[in-house]
Structure 1
């Protein structure tokens, strides 16, 4: 279960570029089907918990949205680096985005806002939806997109992972670009807190059963080896001493 937060605390000097509203979760959901499908899969995984564990996340559950999905890892309270990403993420920047921070997709004026939202997502925890825009080449109409960020726990039960989606309305052209934030919504998440996963215990190697009255095993010796040894003995040199006097 989740509920809307009354306000997302943003301490950025660039707050004038962001309009805080909570309609992003319900405003024309069919415009961004990838975000809708990822959220549905994440909700199904978590059940009554605050979030699912990273180990539970199976890419086969979101086959239709893999191209625009990514998994990130927390490296600082407000910094998340991308571990794996779909092709849309790389096309947006024109390069391989693995190892890059999520802020790389945003123009400099929007990065402080995203950093605050990331801090809240990992700390509260919360889910974050960001509406984005970018200028098109040779066009007055901007590109519209939505980024969805959802927390996940690691093996120790800490909130250090997230799964996200960059859903771009109408797709991208071949020009790499960065996005501006037009609105940002945050929902706090309630439920059972994440717990550490069970440690992996390797299986003990199989041992042969022992029997109380079993005879001691006999060593195997092939006939060929015995014949070879006998042949060596027969062909070996012998010292003959003749003590008779001539």
Structure 2
């Protein structure tokens, strides 16, 4: 078959029409040409984010265009902060859909993590939006039937919304290897944080997964001395049994 020929659906070679543009129906994806390289993809995405700043600390969500992140597009996503420590996908690339086995737009970011790691993810998200600051996460998914072991990396870059508040984030999630049977969920192995302005103070994630820093004070009833606990007789004396047959002076039942 020559270069000037294509194949139809039955495999029959057919010549190209005169003047027809070459490769007009071809779609190229980075994943089709070799394994993903997390460091390279994240470096390109961060460089694009840095280029959007143009002297500002945080770029705007409206400045992000798909054509600017073509090689990272399959792995990229846009987040919206919906509550303290919680964010959902506004847009997501094909790689994330393959990992989850469904469309992820509208789903929370924590759906990609196992329950034991979601507390830490919530702390990291809050630092990204409140800092604001940059975060990189190292993830791991153990092997099981139909699911090979996966190592993954995630990058979170803060963005400003149309209202000017930092409630959006540009990010990417790259898993190395075949996803296997979906959905795939990960454990959070570690996270690194970087200031958006060199030398700025970082907001460290709080240890919410550890629970209270100290046990809560025991409950005590009001108007009682700290050293005095009511005896069973005193507690019983506070209650009075009222019979429905007992009547007030006006002849009405007591309630």
Normalising by structure 2, we get a TM-score of 0.60
Alpha-carbon contact 2:148-2:179 (below 8 Å) kept? no
User: Quick check: 1:116 aligned with 2:123?
Assistant: yes
Query: Residues 44-193 of structure 1: matches in 2 within 5 Å?
Result: 44-137=51-144, 142-190=149-197
| Larger Rg computed on CA atoms | 1
Name the residue aligned to 1:35. 42
Distance in 1 (alpha carbons) for counterparts of 2:109 and 2:59: 21
Provide Cα deviations, 1:178-212, integer angstroms capped at 9, x if missing partner.
00111100112228xxxxxxxxxxxxxxxxxxxxx
* Structure 1: runs of 5 or more not aligned: 1-29, 192-246
Distance in 2 (alpha carbons) for counterparts of 1:110 and 1:155: 31
Provide Cα deviations, 1:27-73, integer angstroms capped at 9, x if missing partner.
xxx55322121111111111332221001111100111111111011
**How far did residue 74 of structure 1 move?**
1.0
> Taking CA–CA contacts closer than 8 Å with sequence separation of 6 or more, which of the two structures ends up with the larger relative contact order?
1
Distance in 2 (alpha carbons) for counterparts of 1:102 and 1:178: 11
**How far did residue 154 of structure 1 move?**
1.0
CA shift in 2, pair 1:140/1:118, >3 Å: closer
Provide Cα deviations, 1:84-140, integer angstroms capped at 9, x if missing partner.
111111111111111111000000000000000000100010101000111234599
**How far did residue 169 of structure 1 move?**
1.7
Alpha-carbon contact 2:146-2:181 (below 8 Å) kept? no
Counting matched residue pairs gives 163
**How far did residue 171 of structure 1 move?**
4.2
* Structure 2: runs of 5 or more not aligned: 1-36, 199-255
Distance in 2 (alpha carbons) for counterparts of 1:175 and 1:47: 40
Deviation larger for 154-163 or 32-41: 32-41
What is the root-mean-square deviation in Å for CA atoms of aligned residues? 2.1
Distance in 2 (alpha carbons) for counterparts of 1:47 and 1:85: 25
